[in-house]
Amino acid sequence: IAHYHFCKHDRQPGESVMTYVAALCRLTEHCEYGNILDDMLRDWLVCGITNDRTQRRLFAEGANMDFQKAFDTAVSMETAAKNAEELKSEGQPAVSPLHVLQSEGWASQYGGMHVPHTCWFKQEVCHSCKKKGHTQRMCQAEKWKKPFKSQMPAKSAYHMDDFEKEEDGGHTNKTEDHEHMALLRASQPKEKPYLCTPQVEGIDLTMETDTGASVSVVGKTYKRLGRPKLKATKTVLRTYTGEPKVLGEAQVGGELSRTSRYGTTLYCFGDGPSLLGRNWLNKIFWKEIKHVTTALTKSSEIAGQFPTVFQEGMGTLRGIKAKIYVDSQVPSKFFKARVVPFLKKEVQSELERLQEEGIISPVQFSDWVAPIVPVRKPNEEIRRWGDYKLTVNQAARLPRNGMFAVLSRSKTFTKLDLPQAYTQIELDKESRKFVTVNTKGLFQYNRLPYGVASAPAIFQCVMDSLLQGIPKVVVHLDGILITGDSEEEHAKNLQEVLKRLASAGLRLKREKCKSGVSSVVYLGHKTNATGLHPIPEKVRAIVEAPNPKNVSKLKSFLGMLHYYAKFMPNLSTVMAPLCQLLAKNTKWKRGRDQQQIYEESKRLLVHYDPEK
Q: Which of 221-225, 283-287, 493-497 has the lowest mean pLDDT?
A: 283-287
Q: Considering only CA atoms, which of 154, 149, 168, 146 is closest in space to residue 108?
A: 154
3-state DSSP assignment of residue 319 = coil
3-state DSSP assignment of residue 255 = strand
Query: What are the angstrom distances between the C-alpha of 388 and each of 312, 362, 396, 477, 514?
Result: 29, 18, 13, 19, 34
Task: Check the CA dihedral 570-573-574-580 and report its sign.
Answer: positive
According to the model, what pLDDT value does residue 192 have? 67
Query: 516 CB contacts (<8 Å, ≥6 apart)?
Result: 293, 295, 296, 297, 298, 299, 300, 412, 413, 414, 487, 490
According to the model, what pLDDT value does residue 443 have? 84
Half-sphere exposure of 164 (CA within 13 A, CB side): 9
pLDDT at 232 > cutoff 50 = yes
Average of pLDDT values for 18-36? 78
3-state DSSP assignment of residue 457 = helix
Whole-angstrom distance, CA of residue 312 vs CA of residue 499: 18
Average pLDDT, the chain: 70
Domain with CATH 1.10.1200 in the chain: 1-81
| Right CATH for 343-528 from 3.40.50.620, 3.30.430.20, 2.40.110.10, 3.30.70.270 | 3.30.70.270
pLDDT at 607 > cutoff 60 = no
According to the model, what pLDDT value does residue 399 have? 55
Average of pLDDT values for 46-73? 81
| Right CATH for 534-607 from 3.30.70.1450, 3.30.70.270, 3.90.1150.10, 3.40.50.12780 | 3.30.70.270
Whole-angstrom distance, CA of residue 322 vs CA of residue 432: 10
pLDDT at 153 > cutoff 50 = no
According to the model, what pLDDT value does residue 279 have? 76
According to the model, what pLDDT value does residue 496 have? 92
pLDDT at 299 > cutoff 60 = yes
Are the beta carbons of 267 and 202 closer than 8 angstroms? no
pLDDT at 478 > cutoff 80 = yes
Per-position DSSP letters for 60-91, written without gaps between them: HHGGG--HHHHHHHHHHHHHHHHHHHHHHTTT
According to the model, what pLDDT value does residue 512 have? 84
Whole-angstrom distance, CA of residue 100 vs CA of residue 14: 9
Q: Considering only CA atoms, which of 195, 204, 244 is closest in space to residue 224?
A: 204
pLDDT at 120 > cutoff 60 = no
pLDDT at 500 > cutoff 90 = yes
According to the model, what pLDDT value does residue 190 have? 53
According to the model, what pLDDT value does residue 184 have? 46
Query: Which comes out higher in pLDDT, residue 199 or 528?
Result: 528
Task: Check the CA dihedral 281-282-284-287 and report its sign.
Answer: positive
Q: How far is CA 95 from the centre of its chain?
A: 58
Helices 37-47 and 17-27: angle between axes, nearest 10 degrees = 140
According to the model, what pLDDT value does residue 520 have? 84
Query: Which comes out higher in pLDDT, residue 589 or 146?
Result: 589
* pLDDT tens profile 234-288: 776 666 555 666 777 777 776 665 444 555 566 665 566 778 777 777 766 455 4
According to the model, what pLDDT value does residue 116 have? 52
- Confidence band for 24, pLDDT divided at 50, 70 and 90: confident
Q: Considering only CA atoms, which of 22, 179, 33 is closest in space to residue 113?
A: 22
Q: Considering only CA atoms, which of 156, 179, 376 is closest in space to residue 266?
A: 179
pLDDT at 300 > cutoff 60 = yes
- Confidence band for 227, pLDDT divided at 50, 70 and 90: low
Q: Which CATH superfamily is domain 195-290 in?
A: Acid Proteases (2.40.70.10)
- Taking domain 1-81, whether its CATH number is 1.20.120 is answered by no
pLDDT at 464 > cutoff 80 = yes
Domain with CATH 3.30.70.270 in the chain: 343-528, 534-607
Q: Which of 109-113, 133-137, 440-444 has the lowest mean pLDDT?
A: 109-113
Query: Which comes out higher in pLDDT, residue 450 or 489?
Result: 489
Strands (E), 220-355: 236-238, 246-255, 261-269, 275-276, 321-322
The number of residues in the chain equals 612
According to the model, what pLDDT value does residue 127 have? 65
Whole-angstrom distance, CA of residue 135 vs CA of residue 128: 8
- Confidence band for 166, pLDDT divided at 50, 70 and 90: very low
* pLDDT tens profile 101-119: 444 444 444 444 444 555 5
* pLDDT tens profile 504-535: 999 998 888 888 888 888 888 888 877 778 77
Residue spans of alpha helices (H) in 361-481: 429-432, 455-466
Query: What are the angstrom distances between the C-alpha of 82 and each of 59, 75, 78, 92, 279?
Result: 21, 11, 6, 15, 43
Per-position DSSP letters for 501-565, written without gaps between them: HHHHT----GGG-EEEESEEEETTEEEETTEEEE-HHHHHHHHTPPPP-SHHHHHHHHHHHHHTG
Q: Which of 49-63, 76-90, 347-361, 447-461 has the lowest mean pLDDT?
A: 76-90
Strands 195-196 and 236-238: unpaired
Task: Check the CA dihedral 551-553-556-560 and report its sign.
Answer: negative
According to the model, what pLDDT value does residue 548 have? 79
Percent of residues, the chain, with pLDDT higher than 90: 2
Query: Which comes out higher in pLDDT, residue 311 or 288?
Result: 311
According to the model, what pLDDT value does residue 269 have? 59
pTM to 2 decimals? 0.47
Whole-angstrom distance, CA of residue 267 vs CA of residue 217: 5
